[in-house]
Amino acid sequence: MSIIRNILKNSRSEEDGNFFLKLKVILGFKPKSKPLYLKAFTHRSMNIRDKKGNAINYERLEFVGDAMLSSVIAAYLFEKVPHGDEGYLTKMRSKVVSREHLNELGKDLSLIDLVQSRIPKSNFGSNIHGNLFEALVGAIYLDKGYKTCEKFIYRRVINPYVDIETLEGKVISYKSLLIEWCQKEKNTFDYEVYEDTGKDELKHFSVKLSINEKVVSKARATSKKKAEEKASKRAFFAFQNQITKLI
């Protein structure tokens, strides 16, 4: 760990003081192993490695943080909703730890202000916020253990954001919901996706969503996935009365 400390110290120098002052406000406690938190906010573009050639960035901490979030949220839902079966609990947990929700959490905490990168922050995609949040949770667990990590998740995730009734009505993927409905009702569906760059600098994709061989919605976005999700959302509102019972 001393090797990591020296490498990261050289790369941040006088910024460390402000970094840990801001971090302490977010955490609500004083970090014990500072290198873990420095690593949690080091982007891979820094290209920092230890003496064994292992990359020093937040990506492995993301893995730990994801597992901790799932564990704590699962235990909370198990106790909070005693009538929920496995399928219900899994769906509810997915809503809490969805990429969209984690991105919102990271944004609310302004975690991107702490990241060290050679890439301009304006060039990052929205997932950077959720990635940093997961990495931070992973660092807390490795630094302070399960109980402290659990308290942090309750304070920053469960208490302010998790409401069972609200979650029950929250849609995390309109495409998944629409496909589930089509399969249940034996409706055929087809996503016809094609490149549609037009005059835009960024590549765009358009999609036509057909149900029972009839086009029900169209959408356009910078990726196939986003275009399909947007078209699915529009189709959802067209068939809302029939679909809502699945949420």
The domain boundary residue, chosen from 168, 185, 216: 168
Q: What is the pLDDT of residues 72-126, one digit of tens each?
A: 999 999 999 999 899 889 989 988 998 888 999 999 999 999 999 999 988 898 8
Same domain, 161 and 179: no
Using DSSP, state whether 137 is helix, strand or coil: helix
What Cα–Cα distance (Å) separates residue 17 from each residue in 12, 23, 24, 38, 116? 10, 10, 11, 12, 14
The pTM score is: 0.71
Residue 3 predicted with pLDDT over 60: no
Q: Is 66 a catalytic residue?
A: yes
Where b means 16+ CB within 10 Å and e means fewer, 37-57 reads: bbbbbbbeebebeeeeeeebb
Give the residue-averaged pLDDT of 130-134.
97
Q: What are phi and psi of 214, to 5 degrees?
A: -120, 130
Residue pair 34/5 in contact (Cβ under 8 Å)? The answer is: yes
Q: Count structural domains, the chain.
A: 2
Q: What are phi and psi of 89, to 5 degrees?
A: -65, -40
Same domain, 159 and 67: yes
Range of the domain at 189: 174-246
Q: pLDDT value at position 47?
A: 93
Q: Which of 2-6, 75-79, 145-149 has the lowest mean pLDDT?
A: 2-6
Q: pLDDT value at position 13?
A: 47
Given the residues 66, 143, 228, 229, select the one marked as catalytic. 66
Same domain, 195 and 155: no
Task: Provide the edge-to-edge strand list for the sheet that holds 214-221.
Answer: 189-195, 205-211, 214-221
Same domain, 100 and 77: yes
Given the residues 62, 85, 134, 143, select the one marked as catalytic. 134
Q: Burial level of 202, CB count in 10 A (0-12/13-18/19+)?
A: exposed
Q: Which of 8-22, 84-98, 136-150 has the lowest mean pLDDT?
A: 8-22
Give the residue-averaged pLDDT of 176-204.
84
**Which domain CATH number covers 97?**
1.10.1520.10
